[in-house]
Amino acid sequence: MGSTSAANHGGGGVGRRDLIKRSAALGLLTLPTAGFLSACASSGGDSQDKAKAGKKTAQNPLAVNDTAQMEFVLFDGGFGKEYAEDAVKIYEQNFPKAEVKFSATQKIQSTLQPRFNQGTPPDLIDNSGAEQMDMGVLVGKNQLADLTPLLDAPSYDDPDKKVRDTLRPGIVEMGQFDGDPVWIFYYAYTVYGVWYSQKALNALDEQYPETWDQMLAVCAKAKKKGIAGWTYAGKYPYYIPFSLYPMIGKVGGRDVLDAIDNLEPNAWKHPAVKACFEAYYELYKKGYILKGTPGLDHIQSQTAWAQGKALFLPNGSWVENESANVIPEDFDLAVSAPTGLDSSDRMPFGTIWASGAEPFVVPAKAKNPAGGMEQLRIMLSEASSKSFTAKVKSLSAYNGGTTGIILTPGLKSGQAALEKAGDNVVNPRIQDWYVKLQKEQIGVAGLGEMMAGRMTPAEAITKIQGFADEAAKDTSIKHYKHQ
Amino acid sequence: MQHGKYRFIVGFLAMPLGLYALFVVWPFIQSIYYSFTDWTGLSPDFKMVGLDNYTRMFDDKIFWKSLQHSLLFAVLLPLVTISLALFFSFMINVGGRRRRGGPVVSGVRGSSFYKIVYFFPQVLSIAIVALLFAFAYNPDSGAINSLLRGIGLDSVQPLWLGDPNLALWCVMAVLVWSTVGFFVVLFSAGMASIPADLYEAALLDGASRVTTFFRITLPLLWDTVQSGWVYMGILALGAESFAVVQIMTTGPGGPDYSTTVMVLYVYQKAFRDGQAAYATTIGVALLVVTLAFAAIVMRLGRRERLEY
């Protein structure tokens, strides 16, 4: 179960797809239960007993009431809870008179949904995991507080620098839905791409391929040695986009990805999309996909890949932690930005998908929202970020914080990939804007079928475009656009 | 004391009926009420939208697909499970060869051992069963494909849960495997209460095992079979099918919607998509299907009760 940010992000949601939660989900199921939940809906009263603002000082720029209780609910997943407990201790030191109620759970939704319905949510929530509450709905129903005061507050380490200026690219934008308010703060930073063992590539006497012809050549070479080129989470094919989307961006430019996110008509019919789909389909046609892959779940595919049965795996940076127990010591884990088609691609090699993960929110109806934000400000200090990276093998939203600690191979490689990418970081939003479209429709019913060879790229594109058009027309979901 | 009779009865009934109304009937009514709203499940404000959810449901292809799968479950699973369970329990209790000096009717050799073995899956939680089978169905290193390779069938390596044509059957097989034991025990208990002299008489008349099964065992066991049928149908429409589909299948519900069932759809709408009102609408449809199923089974199965 050691997964990390897999699930924070709509796309990797299976990371914590574990037994306990699923069986627990059973209990939430039946019609009567739905009735019980709904019972809470009508009983919801507004509680207006908010904590009074405290005194605004240099040490307390958010004017936290130093006697008010602060409640923090953390998702207890692959990142564990130690990093948050450490940050809570600092809060308690800074506000010795305030009581902090900290709890960690895997069942975010079952614990907190009734409290939202009653209007008594906690002050800070790590809304993550398999039981993540739908962000679009929370935002649409005005349940979240705008985090702009936090972003404009001086940073914890340097009073001359705003928190906003200490963050990695894309973090602030990801928290926006439409317009300026920032509803969500993504604390972890995930690098998506093609994961491989440098050792395995060395054994083939190859480098990571930069063009698709080279990719096919490497796969052909591997096949001769009885190694498959690729494998992926066949049961959750929405892992394929982790390398496919940035490839589409690289081939056709950012506009293509933006058009897809905006659900524009014919966005999927763009030649770049077609070319990339055909490139991936060729992997199947030529037999470069590990046999049986469509029946493997994410753990099984990662295990097969770690055992050296396949070279490349589309995944996110949590894979290092999640598969730590099967990745051999001398594996030399590395990540690369996706291979492009050829030199006519619109963006250079190195274009990579990286984005925030592990979403923290402060509810609009929280009693002590300033306290929740102050807690986040503490977590965004260099020291807290460093301890997070060291403990959970993941980068944080804080830009930096990696000097002086020993990075694991995957983390180091991710850091290098980010440096190589520079400004060429893409961030497709479709997976947090339209979860169902991304996972169930594009992922399972589209890409999954194509990669299993049951659909041609042209058919897959038509089908996916149909799903996207349907989503664009669906009035029951909220629609978003790139600014 | 006659006048106090009703008060006495009411006194006893009030508590259980009250609890039933509060915890069963009231949530049902509420769910039906919420199916006419646009409640998201994540905030306390919502408004009435009339029949919007219902018109949407009737246009929803995935809903029809899940309904179709649920109905298939409700028809096929009880049929297969109960037939198997009847066969097994007959063999365990009645089907044995007659041994010298032994009782007139007895089970096959080692029947008490089989009884325990059949019941075994019942001890495991359905979540664990589903997880174990998910491993067994792994096309790369799972038990089933390894076995096929082991006996030289290298060319037969199905994708099982990864194949839209097979996935639903794989799921059903797991449900049959995990529930058949319960019915074996249930029917065994029923068979044990059938008087042995009926069998004795039949055997003296030269009846074969098949005849004794259809002429004696099944008619005398009919009530048990009927309630078993309803119970199994409800399992197949409800929680058990949700558990296996959610844990085992691609997506879950895939590949390409080939395994989605109504309960899974309710869950996804309520807890993934934040559309609790629409989920309750599907829940109402599921309620209708379940009630219809129970009504049909009761109606078809109505027979005169045999006294013995």
Interface confidence (ipTM) of the complex: 0.73
| Cross-chain CB nearest to A41 (options B46, B266, B271) | B46
Angle B34-B39-B44 from CA coordinates, rounded to 5°: 110
Angle of helix A19-26 relative to helix B239-248, nearest 10 degrees? 160
Domains and CATH numbers, chain A: 5-16+45-190+355-426 (3.40.190.10), 192-353+428-473 (3.40.190.10)
Question: At B98, which CATH number?
Answer: 1.10.3720.10
B31 pLDDT exceeds 60? yes
Cβ contact (<8 Å) for A32 and B31?
yes
Quote the CA–CA distance of B190 and B194 in Å, as a whole number: 7
Strand, helix or coil for residue A71:
strand
Per-residue pLDDT, averaged over B104-121, amounts to 79
Tens digit of each residue's pLDDT (9 = 90 or more) over A40-56: 444 444 445 677 777 78
With contacts defined as CB-CB under 8 Å, which chain B residues touch A435? 272-273
Query: Does any domain span residue B305?
Result: no
**What pLDDT is stored for residue A264 in this prediction?**
92
Distance CA(A237)–CA(A222), nearest Å, equals 23
Encode pLDDT of A97-132 as tens digits.
889 999 998 888 888 888 888 888 999 999 987 778
Do B280 and A34 make contact, defined as CB atoms within 8 angstroms? yes
Position A303 scores a pLDDT of 92
Q: B49 lies in a domain?
A: yes
Residue from B155, B170, B245, B272 whose CB has the most chain A CBs within 10 Å, to mutate:
B272
Q: Chain B window 110-139: which residues touch A at a Cβ cutoff of 8 Å?
A: 125-128, 131, 134, 137-139
For residues B33-40, average pLDDT? 87
Residue A34 confidence (pLDDT)? 42
Does residue B23 form part of some domain? no
Position A390 scores a pLDDT of 85
Do residue A31 and residue B287 have CB atoms under 8 angstroms apart?
A: yes
Q: How many CB pairs under 8 A join A and B?
A: 208
Count of domains observed in chain B: 1
Q: What is the pLDDT of residues B265-280, one digit of tens each?
A: 999 888 888 888 899 9
User: What is the tens place of the pLDDT at every residue in A332-375?
Assistant: 999 999 999 998 899 999 999 998 888 999 999 899 999 999 99
| Cβ(A141)–Cβ(A373) below 8 Å | no
User: Quick one: average pLDDT of A248-262?
Assistant: 93
Task: Work out the average pLDDT over A217-238.
Answer: 92
Domain with B236 in it? 35-300
Q: What's the whole-number average pLDDT of chain A?
A: 85
Nearest CA in chain B to A40: B44
Please tell me which residue, A236 or B104, carries the higher pLDDT value: A236
Q: pLDDT band at residue B217, thresholds of 50, 70 and 90?
A: confident
Top residue of A46, A177, A476 to mutate, by most chain B CBs within 10 Å, is A476
Residue recorded with tokens 């979240």: A144
| Tokens (6 digits) for A81 | 């809870």
Q: CA-CA distances (angstroms) from residue A106 to A1, B14, B129?
A: 12, 40, 22
Confidence of residue B98 (pLDDT cuts 50, 70, 90): low
DSSP3 helix / strand / coil % (chain B, rounded to 5): 70, 0, 30
State residue A346's pLDDT score.
Answer: 92
φ, ψ for residue A174, nearest 5 deg? -65, -25
- Amino acid, res. A134: D
Q: What is chain B's mean pLDDT, rounded?
A: 85
Closest C-alpha to A175, from A187, A186, A164, A190: A186
Largest CA distance in chain B: 82
Chain A residues lying within 8 Å of B138, measured CB to CB: 292, 295-296, 300
Q: Do B271 and A131 touch (CB under 8 A)?
A: yes
pLDDT score for B1: 52
What's residue A33's pLDDT? 43
In a domain, B4, yes or no: no
What are the chain A neighbours of B45 within 8 Å (beta carbons)?
141
Instruction: Report residue A267's pLDDT band, with 50, 70 and 90 as the boundaries.
Output: very high
pLDDT for A374 equals 92
Could B138 and A295 be called an inter-chain contact, meaning their C-beta atoms sit closer than 8 Å?
A: yes
Average pLDDT value for residue range A157-162? 88
* pLDDT for residue B293 is more than 90: no
Domain-embedded: residue B154: yes
What does the pLDDT read at residue A314?
Answer: 95
Distance between CA atoms of A480 and A353, rounded to whole angstroms? 20
Asked, for residue B27, whether it belongs to a domain, the answer is no
Which residue has 């919007």 as its token pair?
Answer: B52
Chain B residues touching A30 at Cβ < 8 A: 238-239
Q: Which of B151-155, B175-179, B275-279 has the lowest mean pLDDT?
A: B151-155
What is the C-alpha separation between A182 and A175, in angstroms, rounded? 5
Q: Are A110 and A75 in contact (CB under 8 A)?
A: no
Coil, strand or helix: which one is B62? Answer: helix
Q: How confident is the model at residue A17 (pLDDT cuts 50, 70, 90)?
A: very low
Among B45, B140, B250, select the one facing A444 at the smallest CB separation. B250
B5 versus B245: which is more confidently predicted? B245
The end-to-end CA distance of chain B, in Å, is 38
Point out the least confidently predicted range of A13-22, A198-207, B277-286, B299-308: A13-22
pLDDT over 50 at B121, yes or no = yes
Cβ–Cβ under 8 Å, residues B289 and B297:
no
Would B306 be classed as within a structural domain?
A: no
Backbone angles phi and psi of A209, in degrees to 5:
-70, 140
Helix, strand and coil in chain A, % to nearest 5: 45, 15, 40
Tell me the mean pLDDT in the region A270-291. 93
pLDDT tier for residue B2 given thresholds of 50, 70 and 90: low
- pLDDT tens for residues A422-468? 889 998 989 888 888 888 899 988 999 999 989 999 999 999 999 99
- Which one, of A146, A185, A141, A193, lies nearest residue A166 by Cα? A185
Name the token pair of A20.
């306990």
User: pLDDT band at B307, cuts 50/70/90?
Assistant: low
**How distant is the Cα of B227 from the closest Cα of chain A, in angstroms?**
21
> pLDDT grade, residue A326 (50/70/90)?
very high
**Does residue A37 have a pLDDT over 80?**
no
Q: Name every chain A residue with its beta carbon within 8 A of the beta carbon of B161.
A: 235, 295
B47 — pLDDT class (breaks 50, 70, 90): confident
Confidence of residue B306 (pLDDT cuts 50, 70, 90): low
Q: Is B28 on the interface with A (CB under 8 A)?
A: yes
Q: How far away is chain B from the Cα of A36, in angstroms, using its nearest Cα?
A: 6
What pLDDT, on the 0 to 100 scale, is given for residue A126?
93
- Assigned domain for B216 exists: yes
Give the pLDDT score at B103.
67
| Helix B222-237 and helix B61-93, axial crossing angle in degrees, nearest 10 | 150
User: Does B249 sit within 8 Å of A296, measured CB to CB?
Assistant: no
Confidence (pLDDT) at A28: 39
Half-sphere exposure of residue B182: CA atoms within 13 angstroms, side-chain side: 21
What is the reported pLDDT for A123? 94
Tokens in use for A440?
Answer: 């169930």
